[in-house]
Amino acid sequence: MTPPGPPSGRTTGLSPYALALTLALLVGCGGNPAADSARVDVERMLDRRAEAVLERDETAFRATEASADAVRPELAGGSAEFANLRELPLAGWSYDLTGFDRSGDRATAEAALRYRIRGYDRAPVTAVRTLSLVRDDGAWYVASDEPSEKGTEQLWEQGAIQVVHGERSLVLGVGRPEGSLREYARLADRSVPAVTEAWGEDWARRVVVLVPHSLEEMAGLLGAPSDGYQGIAAVTTGEAGGSAKAPADRIIVNPNAYAVLGGFGKQVVLTHETTHVATRAHTNAATPLWLSEGYADWVGYRATGRSASEVAPELRRAVAEGRAPAELPEDADFGFSGDSGGLAQAYEGGWLACRMIADRWGEVRLNEFYRAVGEHGKRAEAVETALREVLGTTPGRFTEQWRAYVRTQLG
């Protein structure tokens, strides 16, 4: 549709169309200039806040914090968290504003906090945050900075971070004795070469270990109820299938469960979790848990000399009672449901499957099989294809061989 021209006989001034167009350009097509300006002001303030964190400039950081009389009593400021971050070796810290809702002199913003630990994170780790903001004398300030509904707590929110540098590890703790953190670093340093010997060198060959104060704090870092991790000594977080752009994983320790283990068990646990870090780029939706968890256990026990009966007592008991499993463990069998016996059998079954591959086809083929499953990208046909192309067998024959192997090793 062609816009109307100026009225007949007029040679100066703006036509109604030109006037409307000018106003539209000034206002923005249906936009809210005040809201847009506020968002830009908040983004600039968050840039200053991020720079203050990186520069360890407490004065500049406090300049982005709302004054006490401007903050509602239920909202906490971030000065304590700034102090908690003091020892963390940061290489990057920035905010990406993803949502902004303003009401007068108050606003709520959703932001992706992206940070990198120097020497460990190849790409930023993202924490999703909800910011409560207040405007005072024309400027915006942060009244609170908390995990969003889809986010989890960060270690610095739980207290002052203590840092221990190992040769191949970085241990970050809160409320833990320095000696215990050094012991974690010692065990993690031993895990890295053990994993590299089994898996190869195509990973970062360094790990970050988080040691919170208690089980409850561990659950906070994971964003899950604490009862689901009651007997779990450690877990590894990270983005499955992350290539070279994936950030380093975090090994998160449950100090309550980890403390009751002996030296041997502690080493196996950290080697298991370090294996997850090493294999992460080849682990995705195509990888069944019997393979990812079984492989991590295989590496953990690989050089220990322990027999199958010693490593798989729950499965050995089931075999002795005539309850030997007929199928490989399903993903659901690895859930933290409170059935410790069933969970143990799932891990033991996956471990024996990987051990069988290493025994019959060799360790090189086991690694090739793991990578081939991950390369498929999706679960359907991933294991079947890898079994055929790498091991020259079928799911049915493989399962039969595994059942026989379980009975032979544990009978």
CA distance 353 to 356: 5
Which residues 6+ apart lie within 8 Å of 340 measured at CB? 231
Q: Where are the alpha helices (DSSP H) in 280-394?
A: 289-301, 308-311, 313-320, 340-360, 363-376, 382-386
Alpha carbon distance, N-terminus to C-terminus of the chain? 85
Cα 50 to its chain centre, rounded Å, is: 22
CA dihedral 145, 149, 150, 153 (to 10 degrees): 50
Whether this prediction's pTM lies above 0.75 is answered by: yes
332: Cα within 13 Å, side-chain hemisphere: 0
339: Cα within 13 Å, side-chain hemisphere: 11
Which strand (E) or helix (H) includes residue 265?
helix 263-279
3-state secondary structure at position 271? helix
Q: What's the mean pLDDT when you consider all of the chain?
A: 88
CA dihedral 284, 289, 291, 296 (to 10 degrees): 90
Dump pLDDT digits (tens) for 135-161: 999 999 999 999 999 899 999 999 999
Instruction: Quote the pLDDT of residue 249.
Output: 84
Task: State both tokens at 341.
Answer: 């016996």
Dump pLDDT digits (tens) for 180-226: 999 999 999 999 999 999 999 999 999 999 999 999 999 999 998 88
Under the banding of pLDDT at 50, 70 and 90, the label for residue 311 is: very high
Average pLDDT over residues 82-104: 96
Domains and their CATH numbers in the chain: 33-151 (3.10.450.50), 154-278 (3.40.30.160), 284-411 (no CATH)
Nearest to 329 by CA among 348, 357, 311: 348
Q: Is the pLDDT of residue 21 over 90?
A: no
